Amino acid sequence: MDTRKFVLHNGVVVPHPGFGTCKIQEGEVCNTVLRALEAGYRHFDTASLYGSEEGLGEALRKSGIARGDVFIASKVWNTDRGYERTKAAFAASLERLGLEYLDLYMIHWPANRKQFGDRAEAINAETWRALEDLYEEGRVRAIGVSNFLPHHLEDLMKTARIRPMVNQIECHPGWPQLEVLAYCREHGIVVEAWSPLGRRAVLDNPVIQETAQRTGMTTAQVCFAWLRGHGVLALPKASDPSRMKENLREEGTLDEKDMKAIDALEPMWLCSDPDTVDF
């Protein structure tokens, strides 16, 4: 895979790395995005849950950058699952962003059996049907999912007309999700990594630090190189302009030995199991 050119299975090209807008204070979103645009980012990831859609839209208008030169992704939150509610949530996201279309729209989390029992599969199918219709109506250029494991994707494909183009998951050293990566690679689904640097413990890990010293990369660049080695698109977040620019630089590669050593790190994960969450 050419990791400098992420192309979805419908031919849409995704700028990378992307810029994550989760957990940015609402009043800081506009200025943070403007700094990111100035640094060179052209792919921004948001969600109705994040509270960053309005600030992101404001920054895009203030920047003067042509709409076609930026890639904007958002997600439908769990309380809006189902066909009609998903379509309404999409319209609300567009209104908050002040846009006429999105480049990518995703299901934020799969409905699981813990919460919904035997109805979970049908709920995901109806939510996905809404995304398929939005895509076919030309209101979004690509559709995907987030936090889906292979068995969620298998269930979804029983009734789907369109295969997901993206699966956005937590992915970083210490939480590689290699089975998910292998499944998505086999089925032509691009994986995006939220929290690509994990917790501080990832950057402080001796294996990551030793690899950085030996290769001349920063510890963050080692993490990004590892993601590229697995064909994963990173979605870092930063507020400092110098860090933004550092995260944009795609410097260095890792050999097979380094990749396997990082693959084998002890678990250092942030998120909940998609099969057991109850939010």
pLDDT given for residue 1 in this prediction: 47
pLDDT given for residue 278 in this prediction: 92
Pick from 247, 235, 215, 26: which is nearest to 146 by CA?
235
Query: What's at 5, amino acid-wise?
Result: K
Level-2 CATH architecture, domain 11-263: Alpha-Beta Barrel (3.20)
pLDDT given for residue 62 in this prediction: 98
| Catalytic residue (one of 41, 50, 135, 183) | 50
pLDDT given for residue 4 in this prediction: 57
| Cβ atoms within 10 Å of 246's Cβ, excluding its own | 17
pLDDT given for residue 72 in this prediction: 98
Residues 71 and 45: beta-carbon distance below 8 Å = no
Active site residue 41: no
Q: Which residues of the chain have pLDDT under 70?
A: 1-4
pLDDT given for residue 249 in this prediction: 84
pLDDT given for residue 80 in this prediction: 98
CA 113 to chain centre: 24
Pick from 41, 72, 40, 68: which is nearest to 55 by CA?
72
Task: Give residue limits of the domains in the chain.
Answer: 11-263
